[in-house]
């Protein structure tokens, strides 16, 4: 999907619901949906400021929620004490390897995990709706530097 389409899709969603298509909403969508990574509300604010776009934090939060509720973005909790947002891609459910030294996030997917979960849940009469796997550690680039064991909660 081309990038331009994603923002246009957001505009379409708004029109469909008879909601105003404002500059601010488009600006926030443009930043988040074009971003490769996982952005916090502050990250979005910073990028908007850099571009000279003036959007209040409250509006950013409100627009991020909109993007999530129309399915164009997803909200993530990496246990950092704040939320991050990520443009939805075609990857249905992926897992995260986060480097505790440089903060980089790598993604992977493995169907066997879904399978194991299904089996375990089934065995207990549990019906899974979502799941999430988070791995913390040190990435290749940071391995050279001496490691400090990260004790933050997962």
Partner DNA sequence: TTTTGTGCAAACAATTTGCATGAGA
Partner DNA sequence: TCTCATGCAAATTGTTTGCACAAAA
Q: Contact positions toward DNA, by CB under 7 A?
A: 14-15, 18-25, 40-42, 54-59, 61-63, 65, 81-83
Beta carbon nearer to a second copy, 51 or 108: 108
41-48: long-range contacts, CB 8 A cutoff, minimum separation 24: 41/82, 41/83, 41/85, 42/82, 44/85
Cα–Cα distance measured from residue 38 to residue 44, given in angstroms and rounded to the nearest whole number: 10
Q: Is 73 in the site for a second copy (CB under 8 A)?
A: no
Among 22, 79, 89, 102, binds a second copy (CB under 8 A): 79
Give phi and psi for 151, each to the nearest 5: -110, 10
Beta carbon nearer to DNA, 22 or 145: 22
Residue found by looking up tokens 């704040």 in the block: 82
Q: Is 49 in the site for a second copy (CB under 8 A)?
A: no
Rg (CA), the chain: 18
Q: Which residues bind a second copy (CB under 8 A)?
A: 69, 74-77, 79, 83, 97, 99-100, 106, 108, 110, 112-113, 116-117, 120-121, 124-140, 143, 147, 149-151, 153-154
């Amino acid at each position: 999907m081309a990038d331009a389409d994603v923002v246009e899709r957001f505009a379409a969603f708004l029109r469909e619901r008879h909601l105003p298509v404002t500059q601010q909403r488009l600006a926030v969508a443009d930043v988040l949906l074009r971003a490769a990574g996982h952005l916090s509300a502050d990250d979005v604010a910073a990028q908007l400021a850099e571009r000279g776009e003036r959007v209040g934090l409250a509006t950013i939060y409100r627009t991020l929620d909109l993007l999530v509720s129309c399915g164009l973005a997803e909200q993530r909790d990496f246990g950092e004490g704040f939320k991050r947002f990520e443009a939805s891609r075609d990857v249905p459910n992926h897992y995260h390897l986060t480097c505790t030294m440089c903060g980089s996030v790598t993604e992977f997917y493995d169907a066997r995990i879904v399978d194991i979960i299904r089996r375990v849940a089934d065995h207990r009469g549990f019906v899974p709706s979502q799941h999430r796997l988070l791995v913390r550690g040190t990435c290749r680039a940071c391995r050279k530097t001496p490691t400090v064991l990260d004790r933050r909660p997962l």
